[in-house]
Amino acid sequence: MRTHRSMRRSGALAATALSALLVLAACGDDDGGDDTASGDEPSAEAGDFPEGSTMAELAEAGEITVGTKFDQPLFGLVGPDGTPVGFDVEIAKIIASELGISEDNINWVETVSANREPFIQDGQVDIVVATYTINDERKQLVDFAGPYFNAGQTIMVLESNTDINGPDDLAGRRVCSVEGSTPAENIRTNYPEAELFPTGAYSDCLEPLRNGQVDAVTTDNVILSGFVDQNPGEFKLVGETFTEEPYGIGLELGDTEFRNWINDVLEASFEDGRWEQAWEDTAGTVLDTPEPPEVDRY
Ligand code: GLU
């Protein structure tokens, strides 16, 4: 499979050759193409970034491919028009806009928990913004900017359940989580008495919970809160969070320049209110607005 990045590289070369021809043809005309840019449109250009950097490449291409969740209310959920909505989606839009890429030029790709590292490694996506916990194991395979939010693992049960109040109550019970996620790994490693029922995506846990095939669902508090909100009267969260899940933006391993740049963008958005606005427009309709986290420039 051709990687996205190499496709973009050849596209950028073709674009350069084409613009040289256009300059010759226009001969003295203005810069052709920026005329329609309104004040609200992103204004960055490839020339604003170091030559050869991922930022310059993306700005030149005028598009970015973002991996996100498609089935998680509040963070990444595909709406009726086929484009995802949620806090992760808004974070990706902030990054794209700093590259001069409008939201119409973001290619959204569904990533589930297990395919995020391979999608980054294969170049199928430029970045992943998908409730993606930064941890040392994953850092062997991809780089992370962020965090831009701190979540924590918790448990969701049927509204009528009174037996399960925390992770220790999962012993001897069936608990649904997603293959390739940190909460599933945590159950396997630290709660081996629980019977893990692994699925491909969190939405696949809902029917098994409803019909009693599983007793609980476990993952990050904010993901579960989205499901509780979306299904009134059916489910509830129990107990406190019992892990730390700092959400990062996954990118190609070793692209420190791009990682540092995204960290700068995140910090600017924490300062100027865009991060808070993104939260309030999405997850903030259900959850309290947190303080922005400290970016970790490891
Ligand atoms: N934040 C956890 C993780 O990255 C759980 C959520 C998810 O699977 O996306 O594995």
212-259 per-position pLDDT tens digit? 999 999 999 999 999 999 999 999 999 999 999 999 999 999 999 999
Cα 77 to its chain centre, rounded Å, is 11
> Is it the case that residue 28 has pLDDT exceeding 50?
no
Q: What is the pLDDT of residues 104-122, one digit of tens each?
A: 999 999 999 999 999 999 9
Residue 66 lies in a domain: yes
The single residue listed with the structure tokens 């070793």 is: 254
| Residue 113 in domain | yes
What's the 136 CA to ligand 1 centre distance in angstroms?
14
E strand or H helix at 147, and its extent? strand 142-151
Q: How far apart are the C-alpha atoms of 157 and 139, rounded to whole Å?
A: 32
- Ligand 1 pocket: which residues have CB below 6 Å? 113, 130-133, 178, 181-183, 219-220, 223, 245
- Which residue has the CA at smallest separation from atom 5 of ligand 1? 181
Residues 12 and 119 in one domain: yes
pLDDT at 24: 42
In a domain, 298, yes or no: no
Q: Whose CA is nearest to atom 6 of ligand 1?
A: 131
Residue where a domain stops, chosen among 183, 213, 238: 238
Give backbone dihedrals phi and psi of 54, rounded to 5 degrees, phi first.
-60, -35
Q: Before 147, cis peptide (omega within 30)?
A: yes
Cα(253) to ligand 1 centroid in Å equals 19
276: containing domain: 3-21+46-51+59-150+245-285
Per-residue pLDDT tens over the stretch 134-191: 999 999 999 999 999 999 999 999 999 999 999 999 999 999 999 999 999 999 999 9
Q: Are residues 175 and 161 part of one domain? A: yes
Whether residue 139 is found in the same domain as residue 209 = no
Q: Do the domain assignments include residue 124?
A: yes
Domain assignment present for 34: no
**Quick one: pLDDT at residue 108?**
98
The predicted-structure confidence for 197-207, as pLDDT tens digits, reads as follows 999 999 999 99
Task: Quote the pLDDT of residue 42.
Answer: 67
* Percent of the chain predicted with pLDDT > 90: 83
Q: Is residue 296 part of a domain?
A: no
Residue 200 lies in a domain: yes
Residue 17: pLDDT over 80: no
Q: Are residues 135 and 266 in the same domain?
A: yes
pLDDT of residue 21: 43
Are 227 and 176 in contact by the 8 Å Cβ rule? The answer is no
| Cα 132 to ligand 1 centroid, rounded to whole Å | 5
pLDDT at position 131 over 60 = yes
Higher pLDDT, 2 or 67: 67
Which of 223, 238, 253 is the last residue before a domain boundary? 238
**Which contacts (CB < 8 Å, 24+ apart) does range 197-200 have?**
200/112, 200/114
Mutation pick for ligand 1 pocket among 220, 225, 241 (CB with most ligand atoms within 8 Å): 220
pLDDT score recorded for residue 220: 98
Pocket residue to mutate for ligand 1, from 70, 132, 188, most atoms within 8 A of Cβ: 132
Please state the domain count of the chain: 2
Q: Which residue of 69, 77, 113 sits with most ligand 1 atoms within 8 Å of its CB, as the best mutation to test the pocket?
A: 113
**Does residue 36 lie within any of the structural domains?**
no
Residues 231 and 253 in one domain: no
Task: Report CA(94)–ligand 1 centroid distance (Å).
Answer: 21
- Banded pLDDT at 47 (limits 50, 70, 90): confident
Residue 64 host element (H or E): strand 64-68
Nearest to 205 by CA among 172, 168, 175: 175
Question: What are φ and ψ of residue 10, in 5° steps?
Answer: -70, -35
Query: What token pair was written down for 75?
Result: 């963070």
Atom of ligand 1 at shortest distance to CA of 132? 4
The domain that holds 80 is classified in CATH as 3.40.190.10
Residue bearing the bigger pLDDT, 30 or 97: 97
How far does Cα 147 stand from its chain's mean position?
11
pLDDT of residue 7: 53
C-alpha to C-alpha distance for 272 and 265, rounded to whole angstroms: 11
The alpha carbon of 200 is separated from its chain's Cα centroid by a whole number of angstroms, namely: 17
pLDDT at 63: 98
Which of the listed residues 200, 220, 238 is the one where a domain comes to its end?
A: 238
Q: Looking at the structure, tell me whether residues 69 and 139 fall in a common domain.
A: yes
More confident residue, 44 or 123: 123
Mean per-residue pLDDT of the chain: 90
What is the CA(196)–ligand 1 centre distance, in A?
16
Gap from CA of 220 to ligand 1 centroid (Å): 7
Span from the CA of 13 to the centroid of ligand 1 (angstroms): 37
Distance CA 46, CA 68 (A): 25
